[in-house]
Amino acid sequence: MQEGQETYLWWQTGVVYQIYPRSFQDSNSDGVGDLRGIIQRLDYLKWLGIDAVWLSPIYPSPMADYGYDISDYRGIHPLFGTEADFDELLREVHSRGMKLILDLVPNHTSDQHPWFLESRSSRDNPKRNWYIWCDPLPDGSVPNNWLSVFGGPAWEWDESTQQYYYHAFLKEQPDLNWRNPEVQQAMLDVMRFWLDKGVDGFRVDVMWHMIKDEQFRDNPVNPDYQAHMATYEQLLPVYSTDQPEVHDIVRQMRNVLDGYNERMMIGEIYLPIQKLVTYYGIDGKGAHLPFNFQLLSLPWDARQIASAIDQYEGALPPNGWPNWVLGNHDQPRITSRVGMQQARVAAMLLLTLRGTPTIYYGDEICMRDVPIPFEEVQDPQGLNMPDKNLSRDPARTPMQWDDSPNAGFTDAKPWLRLAANYSRENVAVQRNNDLSMLSLYRRLIDLRRNEPALQVGTYTPVYSDMNLVAFKREAEGHDSFLIVLNLSHRPGYFRPQHFPFSGTVEMATYPESEGVSVSDALNLSGDEGLIIRLH
């Protein structure tokens, strides 16, 4: 798309949709979603207006962390299908004019990966230095105080070679040594393997973890730690994550992508804005989209969110393209965090802010976190810290397609239980209801696609207070839009000084407001969001 003299690429103008493959659609009656199931549902994604599909990992894996522990970077787990199924999925996605983004997990492998089996076989094995091995301290204890994200120390003792290996996550997920050029080469070759197949890009898992402090210094204590938090947060991971040398690795990955036409890289990075934006790289040669998780991590508070949007816009490097995320497979669902009415406002925010939006499957039909009984918990984070209610299973439950048994997801017992209300809240019901969340998402995506101001236009903050966030989107030679969102349940009053305006309400969370002419002042109901086409 062109706006003025600039040409925008698909990952700038498009909407990304994350599929958690286990939970999207089962095609072979084993209770687990698979690639053929995804193929069956592509027409739905096309109808919704999705431009790019991002798949969580589908590679061979012992499934200690549900696919984020990879034992073969170049294959497909039989649970999800075959390599032929993958090739067909890629063709079918492309035939609908959509793109396919794969999850790449370069920080760690499975402990069953051939590389690690070699590495741990002896101290003088050629692949020993492919992972991070350390001697115990003189008293026999762990090399330092680093903690695992999933609970406990991040060091595992290997009896046969009498050293510890480092794992930022499960002990079944040993971290690769990215300071080793052989590791770098092997992983860049993995990228080329999938790019040669025609994959359009990667979402890179825990990008900020990939390099660790060379001296293995102890992490400092977190003075703000509280008992309800994950044990990992007892320390500040200043030496185990976000090391300066990681940017050299990201640049190498970018160089690989730049050898292909219009491929892209998203980085998973949970860091403050000032650190996050450094992952765009020097001269913009880092990640195309360092994931911006502020709408996931901030309290749902108008002032904080308005401030964060402006801080982010102000911190972006020249030509750094913004992006926004409301939900993913690691976080509670947006509807469970803010409620059903505010989830509509959140959808309007996501799809009118400047930059690329990512939608998590099911959020478009208001899916909520499903309570999973303790004896059914599958997620290692939940199993390892059972008293903290940190399981990620509730946000990973099967997609609710219709009111048939198991919501049309499977005709077997689903791998995780479904929401009790799936017969009322599903795609089939909402598709035929103009007032549904699904209809709202589809209309928002359609409006965004057809209005250059919303798709690639500039962002200007207009106003915020305890209830409201308001901003303007404009593109030269096209209609401009004023977006006013009430992030509270109470009425909000928009009477900005020095900002006279008149226009027509193009879209609203409440349909009664649509088509109404407005000027200079607005009285908003609680949970109301307005998109106003300015005259």
In contact, 528 and 513? CB cutoff 8 Å: yes
Amino acid at residue number 489: H
Q: Which helix (H) or strand (E) holds 272?
A: none
Specify the pairing of strand 201-204 against strand 522-524.
unpaired
Active-site hit among 111, 172, 175, 205? 205
411 in active site: no
Question: In 398-456, where does DSSP find H-type helix?
Answer: 427-431, 437-450, 452-456
Residue 5: count of CB within 10 angstroms of its CB: 5
In contact, 45 and 98? CB cutoff 8 Å: yes
**CA pair distance 435, 492, nearest whole angstrom:** 22
Q: Which of 339, 302, 291 is nearest to 461 (CA)?
A: 302
**CA pair distance 157, 163, nearest whole angstrom:** 6
Specify the pairing of strand 99-104 against strand 458-464.
unpaired
- For tokens 């034992």, the residue is 71
**CA pair distance 273, 313, nearest whole angstrom:** 10
87 in active site: no
Amino acid at residue number 254: R
520: left (phi over 0), alpha (psi -120 to 50) or beta: left
Q: Around 324, how many Cα atoms within 13 Å sit in the side-chain half-sphere?
A: 20
> For residue 331, what is the DSSP state?
S
Backbone φ, ψ for residue 39 (5° rounding): -55, -40
In contact, 481 and 352? CB cutoff 8 Å: yes
Q: What angle do CA 198, 64, 160 make, to 5 degrees?
A: 110
Q: Which helix (H) or strand (E) holds 309?
A: helix 302-315
Q: Which of 174, 337, 334, 180 is nearest to 245 (CA)?
A: 180
Q: Which of 150, 149, 52 is nearest to 102 (CA)?
A: 52
31: left (phi over 0), alpha (psi -120 to 50) or beta: left
Beta bridge partners of 18: 54, 360
Active-site hit among 51, 69, 156, 268? 268
Specify the pairing of strand 522-524 against strand 492-494.
antiparallel
In contact, 518 and 534? CB cutoff 8 Å: no
So which residues are the catalytic ones? 205, 268
